Amino acid sequence: MPDLSTNCGGIKSPNPFWLASAPPTNSGLQVQRAFDAGWGGAVWKTLGQPIQNVSSRFGATKVRGLAGIGFSNIELITDRSLDVNLREIYETKKMFPHHALVVSLMVETRQEWQDIIKRSIDTGADGIELNFGCPHGMCERGMGSAVGQEPSVNQEITSWAVQHSTVPVLVKLTPNVADILPHGHAAKRGGAHGVTLINTIKSVIGIDIDQFLMEPRVDNRSTNGGYCGAAVKPIALHMVGALARDKSFGLPISGIGGISNWRDAVEFLLLGSSSVQVCTEVMLRGYRVVNDMVEGLEEYMRKHNFTKLDDLIGKAVPSFSEWGNLDLNYETVAKIDASQCIGCNLCVVACHDGAHQCIHPNADEKIRVPVVDESECVGCNLCQIVCPVAGCITMAEVDNGFSSATWNEHVNDGKPLRPKKGVHH
Ligand SMILES: Cc1cc2nc3c(=O)[nH]c(=O)nc-3n(C[C@H](O)[C@H](O)[C@H](O)COP(=O)(O)O)c2cc1C
Ligand code: SF4
Ligand code: SF4
């Protein structure tokens, strides 16, 4: 049986699956139910000065009939009293001593940080997470992403927290920045034990086109919210990967953003996360989604002969490179497996209108399987993406006789490039 236990910045948990700080970690009864369901850790809904929330507060995108691909909220930090939250954290930690219980915090002044950190640690919590990410409401009050977007402020508050904390400090970064690296390094300079990313992305989820109102509607107004859910995974992976491959960074990463199943989780682990956090998928489908995550990860590890998580954490990081280091002479072409093709011609439409006009209807009208003109195919993948039959179109490597040459090698050393394809003169 593979060992799923992990240690993220000094915070240990029986598996890498943590609930992110959000409504599913609002109260003791919820977190206790989640641990019973199989979650290895939880980051409590952010504590601070309790706030007043608006109604309504969530929105979701619908893409071709599928709701919730992207999710948005304009909710603030916890609206429950600090005393009640701290008591429930204490009780939960007592009941689940081996699970990771992390307290998310957001306050303003140095004195407030010192006080709330001390009280949080007194609950027996395993770590604290500094919420420098909330992109609505709290940032207008000088907290959340207002801190996360200013490396010097991030560093200073992190250093206060580290000074006052006897447990590991994770800094939760905002994705609402052009480049994540200076912000990760600011947390590192402040002494953080690890970083968590991403928080939500500043966004407008949609417009009610008949009432002429932005959503989610609060009477006759709305405001920008925080975007999350499956749609944000590529952005989160990019930011996690950018930090993981920066050799001068080196802090543990707790990865979040659009994780919906075990595969998504594995992707974050392979790109350098040592724990993963989930919010939207649990809000939409409940704590039970962790069953698929645990079973899927175990099965995946067995398949690849990984006995412990460290065997896979970061394994895909070396594949993340600059564009200038990609081999321009590497070449693939699309191949259609005629025995699987259902003759829908979606690939023909896609290639003709969105690619390089090199998949054609079969000249023999009785045969529905299209034909790829390999001399023109640039190997872009589009036909494979639109094909509804998994495995029907594969991208096959071509031996074109050219040895590897990157753009950088071409410019610096004059390495020859293969002739271009799909360029209609
Ligand atoms: C309704 C809602 C409330 C949230 N509240 C908090 C919060 O209090 N503190 C925090 O650090 N992040 C908060 N988040 C952000 C999540 O913890 C997480 O970073 C983000 O949703 C991305 O993960 P996901 O794609 O799995 O949802 C909230 C997210 C949602 C949807
Ligand atoms: S890989 Fe791109 S260029 Fe080649 S056949 Fe498919 S869609 Fe056309
Ligand atoms: S999209 Fe796939 S199934 Fe449809 S015609 Fe093309 S190869 Fe065949």
pLDDT the model gives residue 10: 98
Q: Separation of 334 CA from ligand 2 center, angstroms?
A: 6
422 CA: nearest ligand 2 atom:
3
Give residue-wise pLDDT tens across range 56-67.
Answer: 999 999 888 888
Which of 351, 374, 393, 398 to mutate to test ligand 2, by most ligand atoms within 8 A of the CB atom?
A: 351
**CB-CB contact of 94 with 124 (8 Å):** yes
Q: Taking residues 39-65, what's their average pLDDT?
A: 92
Instruction: Of 326, 327, 330, 335, give the one whose Cα is nearest residue 401.
Output: 330
Given the residues 134, 347, 377, 383, the one annotated as active site:
134
pLDDT the model gives residue 425: 53
Q: Separation of 105 CA from ligand 1 center, angstroms?
A: 13
Q: Separation of 297 CA from ligand 1 center, angstroms?
A: 23
- Give me the residues paired with residue 169 across strands: 128
| pLDDT above 80: residue 138 | no
Give residue-wise pLDDT tens across range 310-324.
Answer: 999 999 999 999 999
What is the residue-averaged pLDDT of the chain? 95
Specify the residue with its C-alpha closest to ligand 2, atom 1.
Answer: 379
377 CA: nearest ligand 2 atom:
4
CA distances from 256 to 18, 198, 271, 389 (A): 10, 5, 12, 31
3-state helix, strand, coil in the chain (%, to 5): 35, 20, 45
Q: Separation of 133 CA from ligand 1 center, angstroms?
A: 9
Q: What is the CA radius of gyration of the chain?
A: 24
pLDDT the model gives residue 146: 80
Report which secondary-structure segment, H or E, holds 228.
strand 225-228
pTM: 0.96
CA–CA separation, 107 and 262 (whole Å): 34
Domains in the chain: ranges and CATH: 6-319 (3.20.20.70), 323-413 (3.30.70.20)
Please tell me the number of Cα atoms within 13 Å of 126 on its side-chain side. 23
pLDDT the model gives residue 144: 78
346 CA: nearest ligand 3 atom:
1
Residue 228 is among the residues annotated as catalytic for this protein:
no
Give residue-wise pLDDT tens across range 186-238.
Answer: 999 999 999 999 999 999 999 999 999 999 999 999 999 999 999 999 999 99
Both tokens assigned to 183: 């912000």
Q: Is 336 in the pocket of ligand 3 (CB under 6 A)?
A: yes
Instruction: Of 251, 214, 186, give the one whose Cα is nearest residue 54.
Output: 214
